[in-house]
Amino acid sequence: MESQRSRVVHLYKTLQYLGREYPGGSQKFRQKCHDIFLRNSKETDPKKIESMIEHGKFIVKELEALYSLRKYRAMKKRYYDDKS
């Protein structure tokens, strides 16, 4: 089983990677993500850390859904006219 530290690092890297396509601006997203991880870096309670990891995974899924929807809309716009 992976340690919590390695899971947190993996989550951070995943969010930083996904943040490069964020609609509100990649730099703003990445900085906000960095600030949140830095603010919670002193946490030692394993249950609270686990809860934060689960919340981070939820954010990853939401970002992936957002990007998929954006791609779908672009493809639909490309192939279908808006009159239907």
Closest CA to 69 of 27, 31, 21: 21
What is the predicted pLDDT for the residue at 36? 95
Phi-psi region of 29 (alpha: psi -120 to 50; beta: other; left: phi over 0): alpha
Q: Which two tokens stand for residue 66?
A: 């957002």
What is the predicted pLDDT for the residue at 81? 67
What is the predicted pLDDT for the residue at 26? 87
DSSP state of 8: H
What is the predicted pLDDT for the residue at 58? 97
Asked if 5 and 51 touch (Cβ cutoff 8 Å), the reply is no
* Residue in this structure with the two tokens 């990677």, named with its chain if needed: 17
Domain ranges of the chain: 4-79
What is the predicted pLDDT for the residue at 38? 95
Ranges of residues in the chain with a pLDDT under 70 are: 1, 81-84
